[in-house]
Structure 1
Amino acid sequence: MTRSLAILTLLADAAGEPLGLADIARGIGAAKSSTSNLCQALEEGEMISRTPRGYVLGRRNVELGGAYIAQFNQMREFYAFCETAPLLSHEVVQIAMLQGTDAVYLARHEGRAPMRLTASIGSRYPAAPTAVGNALLTTLGDAEIIDRFRGAQHFPQLTERSVRTVPALLAKIKAARERGYAIDDNEVHPGIYGLAVPLPPWMSGDQPLAMGTSLMASAATPDFVAAIVAELRDGVRRLTNPLYRAALASG
């Protein structure tokens, strides 16, 4: 079974390029004779298909992938991911969506040292100063952001560091796009440092989401931030529809 999975992984990594029997055998570290038997069994199950140039994935993978996608619950998997993440399991982690100029919180993992100041499920916070709000805004064009944020009411001064103007917000969003994650550096609560990344929609027509965490600002060293961001990105990979990832890769 392990070698069968290894064959499927090899063919998936080949991105549609057929692989010959010798290449597969070398890739899984097995003799050609036993590899041939494995390929024959996988071919009979329509998991792989033989072409004149070699083997490729078979149509049965599409059926299984569709069944997986149909039963996948993004929020349930979010909590499962947070429970097992080495660092994020200890932190407050949230998922939010954008409504107008607000971030609405949909899920929250408490961590082992809950922060009472951070948003709970159902809370609305202004998107301009928050990390999840900024991550969500990276999915919009600058013209849309300018149109939405007309008026001082969209820039509440939660702390002395809260963003105050549209140009300053656009600069923050530009920086977030370039680095691949958004930051709230004491803009919502003094002493709290937020990090967030965009989470693509699961199905066509769904709204984009963002996943973020709130840290004590005193703990937000460059090394710790880098490690937290790496785990957030791992979470995005786990929670993103594999068909969406495939479309991005092919695009």
Structure 2
Amino acid sequence: MPARTGREATPPGSAPAVVRAIAVLDALAADDAASMSLSDIARAIGVPKSSTASICAALELGGLLVRDNGEFALGRRLVELGGAYLSRSDRVREFYAACVAEPLLVGETVRLWALGGRDGICLGRYDGHPPVRLTVNIGDRLPASVTAAGKVMLAQFDDHEVRDLYAGTTLPRLTAASLSSIDALVADLHTAREDGYCVSVEEAFESVVELAVVVPSRGTRTATMAIGVTQHTVTYTPEHAAPLVSALRRVAAALGNPMQVAT
């Protein structure tokens, strides 16, 4: 998502300094680098360097930014705030409760995802025993095109909407198995729509298989969400798919409508 800039009109009744502070956080979140110089931040948000310095200093004082070797990075306080938000989210609480209550998933590694543009955003992580340890933590993003959860969420859109979403871009490849073309992605989405679930084999991480189902929507204003379970390729077999998908559907149904029961 592009960062808000100081050149854009400030919404009526809002504080310009707050709008610019949000733009700073957006710029750092959108940048591929772990940190940015003050000059780079100022250019990104379209605000004079002196004003940007004051904003960054205030954000640093509040723990929202940290400074290292003259550059700024997102601060730990953002994680704390995000965790506080997620802990109050009904969907996330329901996710953990449903995983614990589902016998087939108690010993698995399950994640709750939301679609954000071309990325899947991890909202919740239930670690079974033993968990499949991935470098995906709560709040992390992965390209939707390389994960089963991401693709099953994209499958909720028409082909032309998906092609528009990826117009002028190249699909990111995290492993040799990652999809390399929009046509291949669209073909996978057709399969996901027909099957009602999606599977990815080593597309995001080597030696990892993921199966995922979409969470039924609670209304037009709710985010597109999915639940995915991961297993090691050395222990996974195609026979595992049907029972795991059934378990995921029961959890997804509980999140989509607590009164609904899926089989």
TM-score (norm: length of structure 2):
0.62
Mapped partners of 1:131, 1:231: distance in 2: 16
2:160 corresponds to: 143
Report the structure number with the largest CA radius of gyration.
1
Contact 1:203-1:241 at 8 Å conserved across structures: no
Displacement after TM superposition at 1:204 (Å) = 4.0
- 5+ residue gaps, structure 1, are 1-70, 246-251
Displacement after TM superposition at 1:86 (Å) = 1.5
2:92 corresponds to: 75
Displacement after TM superposition at 1:157 (Å) = 1.6
Contact 2:175-2:202 at 8 Å conserved across structures: yes
Mapped partners of 1:72, 1:95: distance in 2: 12
2:39 corresponds to: none
Q: Secondary structure at the match of 1:218?
A: coil
Q: CA RMSD in A?
A: 2.1
Which runs of structure 2 are paired with 1:28-107 in the superposition (5 Å)?
73-107=90-124
Mapped partners of 1:122, 1:206: distance in 2: 18
- 5+ residue gaps, structure 2, are 1-87
Which runs of structure 2 are paired with 1:110-149 in the superposition (5 Å)?
110-149=127-166
Mapped partners of 1:145, 1:173: distance in 2: 10
1:169 corresponds to: 185
1:240 corresponds to: 256
Which runs of structure 2 are paired with 1:165-204 in the superposition (5 Å)?
165-204=181-220
Displacement after TM superposition at 1:72 (Å) = 9.4
TM-score (norm: length of structure 1):
0.65
- Number of residue-to-residue matches in the alignment: 174
Mapped partners of 2:220, 2:185: distance in 1: 28
Displacement after TM superposition at 1:151 (Å) = 3.5
Contact 1:118-1:214 at 8 Å conserved across structures: no
Displacement after TM superposition at 1:114 (Å) = 2.4
Mapped partners of 1:203, 1:224: distance in 2: 32
4+ residue runs over 6 A deviation: none
Q: Which amino acid in the other structure matches residue 116 of structure 2?
A: Q
Displacement after TM superposition at 1:84 (Å) = 2.3
- Against the structure 1 CA distance between its residues 228 and 122, is the aligned structure 2 distance closer, same or farther, given a 3 Å change threshold? same
2:125 corresponds to: 108
Q: Deviations over 1:73-129 (max 9, x none)?
A: 222121011112222111111111111100011111011122332521100000001
More helix by share: 1
The reply on whether 1:208 has 2:224 as its aligned counterpart is yes
1:227 corresponds to: 243
Mapped partners of 1:237, 1:98: distance in 2: 18
